[in-house]
Structure formats: structure tokens, C-alpha cells
Chains A and B, each alone.
Chain A
């Protein structure tokens, strides 16, 4: 039995590497994605365009305007001279925020009255707009605290620190997750397409006629995928650490344990797709149908806690959810092994389930 499995593994590795189309698919998209998307997958808000209608021209407003302009968060400032102009700026999306300093703004401030400042945000980009508003508020508050004598009022100094990612570099957040995503894609591609391709070539029949048992075929197809996926993920991790210089703090053996379990779980899904799909085309569609929800429900694009309460339990069935926690934990947080294990055993259960499903589907297909 082992001989047959080993033979199949050898063949799979050879066939995968020798097929030119596969070679392209294994190398090009991942590299493309890694380099391109690590730069685009950012929710950061930088270089925001700001529109200002200064009806005041006083000292305070000038000071504030200067501070806003100087801030690295704001890319450039456009000045409007009428309500219509300001409105158009927002409508045309030339600016994301538009601030109006009403007349008497500076005088009100000096005389210790409340000085009103109007801010209009482009709700079409509500996330970024909110963050940008935060920047404005910060600058305003900073200004106020420098001016106002505190006297007897309660006062605090807020010290802000960011752990795990001191500069809030988005790349630190994106890259580890991306490494996992790409590995996942490869894993699914290799397994889901493999049986479909053999069926189309006619060699699958040849396998079925041989003494190989269904379980042996599954083992023979899973192990190469596992090996390939682990190699690719290692390459990515090395690139992430040495080229992008993202710190790596965690435990290597536990990371690989977790990754292995994850990959096995996904292989099970890939093989299941493979047994259902009759053509390669269908296999591709199957991959997409699985990949999209898995990605979106994993915390990759947006955190799970933002999802509605009724939706969150579904993420427990998604192995991607757990590995995201692990990979970020290991890269950025020096996650202790116990936490890694905490996130690994659910994946193991899922893996068991998906592999059994694949085995069952295989047998059914054979009848």
C-alpha cells in the first residue's frame, strides 16, 4: 500500500511541476499578488484632500489652517470662496472633507465663546472620511489644549501607544495575511484541478482500474499538495521577513503545526470540489465559490467583530479564520503556544470532516 502511495506522490509532483501551465499558475499569480497587493490592501488614510472655505481670516483660523496643511495626513488643501464651490469640491470628489470657518471664528475663540467649525464629509467614502475627521479633531484638540489654561478643570494627558505594530504600518497587517491567502489559493488550485484534469486526459480511469484504493488515491494527491503548499508558504514567510522586514516573534514549530493542519483542511475541500467537478472549468468555478466566502468571512478584509452577531458564528466553520489569528499572532504578537493550539484544534476537527467528505465523494463517484 505504501509503495503505491509513494509512487502516486512522485507522479503528482512530477506532473505538477512539468506541466507548463501549472508552473505559471504556481509562480506568477502569487508573486504578482504578493508585491502588488501588499501595497494596495491598505485601509490607511493618507494624503487626504481637504477643502477649506475660510470666511474668517483671523489669527486662529489661519493658525489652524496652517497646522492642517502641515499635517502629513492631509495631501493638499484646496481653497473655496463660496458655498457652491465647496459643494462642488465634495460632489466631484476632489476633496474628501470640507471645512468652513464661519465669520467671527477667531474673535469668538479669543473671547472665550464657543467657536463653531463646520465639517462636511463625503459619505461615499465613509470609512476614510471618518478617519480623516478623526485627524482633524486631533489637530483641533491639540491646538485647544495648548491654548487653554487648565486652571482648576480636570485634565488628563492621553498617552497613546500601539502594540505589535508601532507605526500602524498597514503592510505589517496585510502581508502575513496575504501569505496565507496565496497559499490557500495554490492549495485549492492544485487539488481541485488535479482530478478534473486527469479525468479530462483520461488517465483517471487508468488509476481507477489499477489496484489503488480510493483512500490511497486521496493520500497520494493530498501529500504533494501539502508539500508544495508548505514550501510556498515558507518562501513567502522568508520574503516577508527578509525583504519587507516585518518582525517575526513567535514559535516556529507551532506555526508550522498550525499551518499543516490548515492546509490539510483546505486540501479536503479542494479534493471534494475535484470529485464533484466533471471538467476543469467546473473545478475553477467551484474554487471561486469556495474561495470568496472563505476570504470575506475570515477577517482578512474586515474584522470579524464588525460582522452582525448572527453572522459571526458561521466563521467558526472557516479554517481561514483561525489561521489568520495565528499568522498575525506569530508575526506581530509573539503569541504563546497555548493560544496557537487554541486556534489549531478547531481546524483539526474541520480537517477531519473535509477529508472524510472527500473520501466519501470519491467512492460515490466511482460507482
Chain B
């Protein structure tokens, strides 16, 4: 039934791609290599392939976010290169990590996307009602998106993508990292949508999901290797799939079977070993592996066909296992958890979990996200300290000898934490050293690994540039060099292609054969089949502990005679919830009833009005979103209010150029009435803090130590020569040149006191000196001559600089980091709106900060404010505009928060400090440098501020500086707009 208004000119396909090529690096391999694909309406098309196959690249191109290197794309008949807006108004796009704003609540996220897509008024309210109901998020409306569970985020992401009734939904790996239960829910919803005519592209690395799609496009290394209904692919291996019943040593049998040339692929499945055989190969040799010497034919799976299409498993032994020593299977548990409990405040993440793992066992720790599985895992490998209970490795208690316990563990993290900049050899060196290998031991361990994994040609390559399969191998090598007793694997194969995954498990199986114990967590149910035993952690408790088959047997029932691992898993949780009367927010059995009625009204003509070039409403939505994020982000508050106060305080008090009491020493080489009288005058001066002494050496040492800034030496014949005409008494003033400013002041003060003393002395002895020129000084604007008065306005300039550039540098970095930028760009939002939507809130923040600083300056520091508030706001606004513009330009260009931050400091803060004239006098700098200061907006701002605060509204100065600042602002904005595309690359 087709109720969607087909605006694609009557063609059958929503999307048509021919010969698409995309290369990111000029000499590198293409991400997409002459790809062909077609996507119909009213169907779920699976885009399937491992990480790096090109799925996300393709999706981004369909949405017009990336430009192809060559080839043809048509979406709804439009070309995303030239008419992206036509496409964006008709699609819904959900990027990886869902594209949600974590600081915004559920309803705020929905509203934002609604505004951006022009869904308004009554239509909007009705739409929200529907969306919230069928995603069951209605009661969580007010909760912040960041506080939702993985499954709920997934549904919210979908709701946001559906808000404008799209004809095509692009979902980029929507089920990654989400537990099987939530995955199932989402699938059901999407199926309902498809029944109403919406076309869906669902990209995934899970092959069991691929099997359920209406059509699949299989990508491998940028090429399409299959395009059509999954069944077609599966049919290729029809009558070639079999099971062998093997009661014991399944892993070993599997390894042996794989060595036969007839076997293309094999995995462990429950009580059986499942094999895919070559076409027309002899069966005889294989049957002997089964206990009952029979090959049981079995229905083929999509995954079998996939591996077969890729050429099957390469034949190789687990070489690394060959290098490991064989361990005795002694008694005694290798991993032991006793009453493990972990509390975070009032929240109990793990509650009294106990189990033990024998040597040579593969133990799987499974459970939905947030249920306590990772916490348990971390406690067992020593990353978290338990609140109660013990964790032991090979009998060693972590609490007692953590270091010893850890030296028995090998650890492979989810995304292979290797040092990306270091070469393969350097990584191997490092990890072997950290685990205590040195000298001969180290060399031989490293050599073994190089042989076993084939690192020869990659030894000098930085590990960050290795292909994914080799990264995995390197991570494994680093974990195994010290021959650990236990290997901890944290979701080791997520995102990896099936062949690499199988190879990985073959290696693991080989190791386990040699007696290594393995603890693994995974979301792939078929990996769970490899485990000897599985522990299921749910709501912090260990709710099931048994072999895979044992668990399956436990839930077998008439309606579920042959449960898969996934079904087993779901059923156990359901049973637990029912037994404990928990509300099943995990599993939605009523989903069909709830979703169906809402669905009918979900389709119809696309709701958003014409994609206008510039929309105030969209802008408003963006601004509101940004403001909410600012309020929720401590760094913004720090920069806007706390840092300024601190700076004002420092500039107001710590940086003072007023040398009020200079410490000077007076060397009294004689003691006469004259010299004493002079000394008294010196001591009486409020500007001097005098230390007098006969010991010149002592005073000189004090100067060297920095405790005196100047010396006045009254020489031995001072009084005698005081009245001599041709040979007057010498007075040496020795100043400490290491503090030149103070030295100058010291000299001036000393001279002034001497001068005054001479006058007085003259009058007392009846020989007055006429000071014939009377210099009368007036200091305008700053009569008290406090340096603080002119430093404080200048410091406000520095603060504004920091806010402007630092904040924007952080802003864009954060947007990229959280992946929300992509989702934004796939909506009809225009570039100007994006840019302004970022700037306006920070502009307001800056003005707020400015107001705050001014109030502090005036009330606490008593800085006069003689100009008008209007002129203050005028120059501040213009300066902020230029600062923000610069910051935005920098962060758009660099896309790296580190670089952006460095630039913010180099181009913003430091010149503000050194080159703006606020502290250091510009006219005293060398000419070249003076020229340089003309290029920094801070200079103009400082001049304007000093005038406005201290002098008043002198319009010539204010206008001139304002014009220049306006010019800077315009320049930066124009540049930014040019540089920002609604493209990702």
C-alpha cells in the first residue's frame, strides 16, 4: 500500500547510485570504489559491511553532506551535489550516536528538530503526540537526553528524524552498542513505518539484522559485492550447510575441521559445530568429526553466504597459540569473584556477584547496557575498586597486591587502545617493558609476536595507520607478550567483519587450548556460543550462570522449542522481571498495539513548508538550544564569570605600577648634622622605606638579593663639600636596573627628596635657593594617579578577548565531538543560520559578562565611569563581534579543539596582553611591532575603554575605534561564511 506522495517523478527507485567514487586522501585507497546501488520505497534496505566498508560515507553523500569524487547520485531524482536542499527537506537522517543534544530534554530535542524542519503549529503538537506515544517516551519528556538509556536514545533519535514525515529515512548504525532487546523494539517500529510506504536505509554490521531486511547492499572495501534480497544471497549456499553433533572439545574439532580443504567456514553453535562446505566437495572426510559420524543438513543463514562470498576463511593455524607455553590444568579458580559489590553514592551498580572461572575456560559476561556488566568486568581486571567483596586472579587478591595481580592479566579494550603515533615496534617495546620483560626475554617475546602475526612489513608504521585487522592483531600481541594467565576481552569484535571475527576466535580458541583463561563481554550472540559458560548480569545481579546450552534448555517451551541465544537472553530477563514485579520498560510486548494506530497518521505529504533561504524561526530554535547548553556547561560559566572576576581581582590589585613605598638603602659614610638631617628627610618621605647603615657591603648585598631597589650613598666628605661652589658634595644614587620601572621611580623620588631638603636646608641656614621654575602638574582623567584606574578598563578588554575566542573555540569543537553537527547539516538549516545560531548566544554571554565586570570594576575598584553606558555597549558589542568571528573562523578551520585552543591563546589572549597598549606602551615598541599592533582588534578596544571609563564620551576616539572594530568583525564573518559549507569535507 503506497500512501506516500511519490515526488520522485514516478521512478521506481528512491535512490540511484552509479559508479560512485570517493577518495579522501589523494594517494590513498578509495573509500568508495565505483559503487552501484538502488534503494526502493516501502522497504528496509540494509547497508551492510564492517567498519571502514564505506557505509557512513555513502549515507553522508546521499544526504549531500559529502561531495563525490566522481560518479552519479540521484535521490528522489535530485542530485545532492547541486540540489541538496530539495533532498534534505524530504529525508530524515539519524547519524551515528543518534544526533541528540545531551543537555536538552526529550521534548526540547523534538522541538528543536521540528523548528529546524519547519513543522509548526497544530500540526506540530499532533506530531509530537504521535511520536512520543509510539516511542513510549511520553513519561520521560522532561528528562535530559543524556540521562536516557541506549535504547531510549535510539528511539528519540528516530523520533527526531521522523518529525517532518520524511519519505526516506537514513539510519546510520542505529543499533550499535544497544542491547538486543532494544534493537528488536526499534526493528519493529521501522517495519511498521515501511508498511506505510516510507523507504528506509538501515546501515549495520550485524548480519542477523541484514537477514531481516527486504533488500541488502553488501559493501566490502568500498565496493558493492551484492545487491538484492538477502534470500538470494543465502540461496547460494543452499544444501551446503551442515551441523556436526559434537559433545566435547567442540573448539578443537572445529579447528581441525577447518583445516580440511572442503570446509569453507565453520563456527560453534550450541551442541554443534556448524560448517559450510564447498560446492560439490566430498563429504566423507568431514563426517568423521561428528560423534555420530553424520553430517546433518541445516537451513543456511545469511552470514554463511556472506563469508562464502568473501572467499571463506583463509587456512591458517593459530600461530600465536603455537608460541605460548602449555599450562597445566590444575585445580583452583583462575578468576574468582566473591560477593562483588560496587556502589556509586546511593546507586548500587553491582550487587553481591559471585562466580569463579577455571583454567582454560572461556567465560562470557553478558547483559544489557547499564545493568552492571561493565562494572563487574572492571572490578575483575582491577580497574575499579569494589565497595565490598573480593576479586582474585590466580589466587592473588587485588586489594592486597594489585600490581602482582595485574601482571597476570592481558587486556584488550574495545577500540584497541594503542598509541597511534608510535610504530608497531615501539608499541611492542612499550607494552613488553610495562609488563616487566627486558633484555633477552623481551627480544624473544617481540620476535615471536612478529612471526605469529606477520608484522614484518608494518614494523615502522604508526599504529594509527594500520588496517583494522592488524590493529586488532597488534592489540592482541601487546596483551599476550607477557604470557598472562587470563585474557580479558572487552567487546573485542564490535564493528569488525565476519572473517576477521572468526580468525580472532580461532586464535583465542588456540590459546584456550594451551590453558589460557578468557573472560569476554560481547553483544554478538553468536560469540556467546563460543563460551564455556555465560554469566548474565541484569540490574546489578547475576541472574543466570550456566553453559549456553544449559541456558537454552532452561527457557525451552512449547512456543519456543529451539531458542536462539538471543531469544534465550530475552526470555530470561522477562522471567526475572515478572518474578520480581518490575515494570517491563526493557521489553515492549505491547509495541504492536501501541504503534499501529499512530502509524496511520504518520505519513502524508511532507509537512515542512518550502525550504526558505533564511528563517528567523530556525535561527530562534538554534539560539535557544545553544543557550540551554551554555547554562548546563560548567566551562562556559567558568570562562564567562569566574575567570573574569579572578582576572579583575588580579589586575586590580596584583598588577600595580604605582611604586608607593620603594625600599631604599642609605649608606651613611659619615655622621654629621647634615647627613642626619638628610636622612630624616628621607625617612619622612611617604614614598620611601629607608634602611640606613654604615656597612655599604651589607646594603649592596641586599640590593643583589632584591630586597632593596636603590641606594643613596652619602659620602664621607658630604658636609664639608656641601657649600663648596666648584666641587659640590656628590650624592650617589645607585638603582637596581633589573627592575627598570621601579628604578626610574626610585631615582625620581630620591632626587625630589634631595631637592626639597636642599631648599629647606638653605632656608634654615639663611641661604635660600630659589627654585626659579615652578612646575605645576595636573593629571587629567586620573588625578589620583592610580595605575589601577587605567589597568582595570584595559583588563576588561583582555577578558572579553578570552571569552570571545576561547568560548567559540570550545563551542565548535564540542559540536563536532558529539556528532550533532552532522544531524544539523542534514536539515534545511542554512549556513547563515548555523553561524549566527552559534554566535548570538555567546555574544549575549559576552555582554552579560561585560556588564558584570563593569559593575565589579565600578563598585569594588572604584574605577570611574565617565562615559555613557551606550558607548560602552557599542564598543563592546563590536569588539565581541570581531573576537567571536575570529574564534569561529579558527575553530571551523582547525576542527580540532587542541589547535583551536592554542590559536585562541596565541591570536587572542597573548596579543591582547602584550600588544594592545593596556599595560605596555605601544609608542615605546620598535616600529615594526607598532605596525603589528594595528592588526589586533584589542588595541582599538583598549583605547576606547580607557577613554570611556576615565575621560568620558570623546566621540572622535570612540567612533574611530568603533569603525575599525566593525571592519574586523565584518571581515571575519565573511571569511567564516565562506569557509563553512554544509559539507563535512
Q: Given A49-B923, A201-B417, A296-B651 in contact, is the A126-B785 Cβ separation under 8 Å?
A: yes
| A292–B650 CB distance below 8 A | yes
Contacting B at CB under 8 A, from A260-313, are 280-282, 284-285, 288-289, 292-293, 296-297, 301-303, 305-308, 311
B contacts with A, residue count (CB < 8 A): 142
**Subset of 29 A-B contacts with CB under 8 Å:** A8-B430, A24-B902, A37-B914, A45-B924, A118-B776, A123-B783, A127-B658, A154-B762, A157-B728, A157-B731, A162-B736, A165-B738, A201-B420, A202-B415, A205-B383, A210-B435, A280-B897, A281-B901, A285-B639, A289-B643, A296-B650, A296-B655, A302-B656, A302-B657, A306-B659, A307-B654, A325-B706, A329-B738, A336-B704
Chain A residues whose CB sits within 8 angstroms of the CB of B673 once the complex forms: none
5 nearest CB pairs, A to B: A123-B782, A165-B737, A7-B433, A202-B417, A123-B781
Q: Given A41-B920, A43-B740, A153-B769 in contact, is the A25-B902 Cβ separation under 8 Å?
A: yes
Pick from B406, B745, B782: contact of A210, CB below 8 A: B406
Pick from A7, A40, A173, A202: contact of B740, CB below 8 A: A173
Stretch from A9-17, A221-229, A350-358 that touches the partner? A9-17
Chain B residues whose CB sits within 8 angstroms of the CB of A3 once the complex forms: 433, 436, 438
Interface check A81, CB cutoff 8 A: no
| B790–A163 CB distance below 8 A | no
**For the complex, what is the distance from the CA of A201 to the CA of B416, rounded to whole Å?**
10
Interface check B579, CB cutoff 8 A: no
Closest to A189 in B: B902
**For the complex, what is the distance from the CA of A135 to the CA of B636, rounded to whole Å?**
47
Interface check B407, CB cutoff 8 A: yes
**For the complex, what is the distance from the CA of A129 to the CA of B406, rounded to whole Å?**
68
Closest to B933 in A: A40
Chain A residues whose CB sits within 8 angstroms of the CB of B765 once the complex forms: 154
**For the complex, what is the distance from the CA of A19 to the CA of B639, rounded to whole Å?**
28
| A328–B738 CB distance below 8 A | yes
Can you add 9 more A-B contacts, CB < 8 Å, to A113-B772, A124-B946, A203-B418? A18-B462, A36-B932, A41-B914, A120-B777, A151-B767, A159-B733, A210-B435, A293-B650, A335-B705
Chain B residues whose CB sits within 8 angstroms of the CB of A360 once the complex forms: none
Chain A residues whose CB sits within 8 angstroms of the CB of B650 once the complex forms: 292-293, 296-297
Interface check B232, CB cutoff 8 A: no
Pick from B429, B436, B730: contact of A159, CB below 8 A: B730
Closest to B954 in A: A91
Closest to B718 in A: A156
| A305–B647 CB distance below 8 A | no
1/0 contact trace for A69-104 toward B, CB 8 Å?
000000100000000000000111100000000000
| B744–A168 CB distance below 8 A | yes
Chain B residues whose CB sits within 8 angstroms of the CB of A18 once the complex forms: 421-422, 462
Closest to B642 in A: A289
Interface check B628, CB cutoff 8 A: no
Q: Given A44-B924, A158-B754, A159-B732 in contact, is the A144-B956 Cβ separation under 8 Å?
A: no
Minimum Cβ distance to chain B for residue A109 (Å) = 6
Chain A residues whose CB sits within 8 angstroms of the CB of B737 once the complex forms: 162-166, 168, 172-173, 332
Interface check A6, CB cutoff 8 A: yes
Counting chain B CB atoms within 10 Å of each CB, the highest count among A41, A43, A75, A151 belongs to A43
A contacts with B, residue count (CB < 8 A): 133
| B773–A140 CB distance below 8 A | yes
| A162–B773 CB distance below 8 A | no
Counting chain B CB atoms within 10 Å of each CB, the highest count among A4, A302, A332 belongs to A302
Q: Given A151-B767, A211-B436 in contact, is the A15-B422 Cβ separation under 8 Å?
A: yes
A-B contact count (CB 8 A): 399
Q: Given A11-B430, A280-B897 in contact, is the A140-B775 Cβ separation under 8 Å?
A: yes
Stretch from B85-93, B248-256, B512-520, B660-668 that touches the partner? B660-668
Q: Given A91-B951, A123-B790 in contact, is the A211-B403 Cβ separation under 8 Å?
A: yes
Closest to A3 in B: B438
**For the complex, what is the distance from the CA of A207 to the CA of B932, rounded to whole Å?**
47
**For the complex, what is the distance from the CA of A340 to the CA of B732, rounded to whole Å?**
28
1/0 contact trace for B675-711 toward A, CB 8 Å?
0000000000000000000000000010111100100
Interface check B434, CB cutoff 8 A: yes
| A213–B403 CB distance below 8 A | yes
**For the complex, what is the distance from the CA of A18 to the CA of B975, rounded to whole Å?**
32
| A152–B723 CB distance below 8 A | yes
Contacting A at CB under 8 A, from B371-390, are 381-385
Pick from A25, A120, A206: contact of B413, CB below 8 A: A206
Minimum Cβ distance to chain B for residue A247 (Å) = 12
Chain A residues whose CB sits within 8 angstroms of the CB of B382 once the complex forms: 208-209
Chain A residues whose CB sits within 8 angstroms of the CB of B404 once the complex forms: 211
1/0 contact trace for A304-342 toward B, CB 8 Å?
011110010000000000000100110011111001001
Interface check B653, CB cutoff 8 A: yes
Interface check A57, CB cutoff 8 A: no
| A209–B728 CB distance below 8 A | no
Interface check B850, CB cutoff 8 A: no
Interface check B934, CB cutoff 8 A: no
Interface check A361, CB cutoff 8 A: no
| A303–B772 CB distance below 8 A | no
| A127–B925 CB distance below 8 A | no
Chain B residues whose CB sits within 8 angstroms of the CB of A289 once the complex forms: 638, 643, 646
Pick from A36, A163, A303, A342: contact of B735, CB below 8 A: A163
**For the complex, what is the distance from the CA of A115 to the CA of B921, rounded to whole Å?**
32
Chain B residues whose CB sits within 8 angstroms of the CB of A28 once the complex forms: 906
| B773–A109 CB distance below 8 A | yes
Contacting A at CB under 8 A, from B514-563, are none
**For the complex, what is the distance from the CA of A335 to the CA of B702, rounded to whole Å?**
11
Chain B residues whose CB sits within 8 angstroms of the CB of A280 once the complex forms: 897-898
Chain B residues whose CB sits within 8 angstroms of the CB of A45 once the complex forms: 921, 924
Closest to A43 in B: B741
Interface check B770, CB cutoff 8 A: yes
Interface check B612, CB cutoff 8 A: no
**For the complex, what is the distance from the CA of A24 to the CA of B896, rounded to whole Å?**
14
Chain A residues whose CB sits within 8 angstroms of the CB of B429 once the complex forms: 7, 10
Interface check B597, CB cutoff 8 A: no
Contacting A at CB under 8 A, from B907-933, are 910, 914-915, 919-921, 923-926, 929, 932
Interface check A161, CB cutoff 8 A: yes
Minimum Cβ distance to chain B for residue A211 (Å) = 4
Minimum Cβ distance to chain A for residue B253 (Å) = 33
Chain B residues whose CB sits within 8 angstroms of the CB of A29 once the complex forms: 902, 905-906
Minimum Cβ distance to chain B for residue A153 (Å) = 4
| A48–B704 CB distance below 8 A | no
Chain A residues whose CB sits within 8 angstroms of the CB of B902 once the complex forms: 24-25, 29
Closest to A302 in B: B655
**For the complex, what is the distance from the CA of A181 to the CA of B654, rounded to whole Å?**
17
**For the complex, what is the distance from the CA of A284 to the CA of B402, rounded to whole Å?**
32
| B635–A126 CB distance below 8 A | no
| B813–A281 CB distance below 8 A | yes
Counting chain A CB atoms within 10 Å of each CB, the highest count among B409, B775, B905, B932 belongs to B775
Q: Given A156-B731, A161-B733 in contact, is the A333-B789 Cβ separation under 8 Å?
A: no
Pick from A7, A46, A166, A203: contact of B924, CB below 8 A: A46
Q: Given A124-B947, A159-B731, A296-B654 in contact, is the A284-B901 Cβ separation under 8 Å?
A: yes
Interface check A116, CB cutoff 8 A: yes
| A6–B433 CB distance below 8 A | yes
Q: Given A121-B780, A168-B740, A285-B639 in contact, is the A127-B417 Cβ separation under 8 Å?
A: no
Pick from A136, A172, A206, A335: contact of B411, CB below 8 A: A206
Interface check B899, CB cutoff 8 A: yes
Interface check B590, CB cutoff 8 A: no
Minimum Cβ distance to chain A for residue B514 (Å) = 22
**For the complex, what is the distance from the CA of A49 to the CA of B923, rounded to whole Å?**
9
Chain B residues whose CB sits within 8 angstroms of the CB of A334 once the complex forms: 704
Chain B residues whose CB sits within 8 angstroms of the CB of A56 once the complex forms: none
Closest to A335 in B: B704
| B660–A306 CB distance below 8 A | yes
Minimum Cβ distance to chain B for residue A59 (Å) = 14
Closest to A161 in B: B734
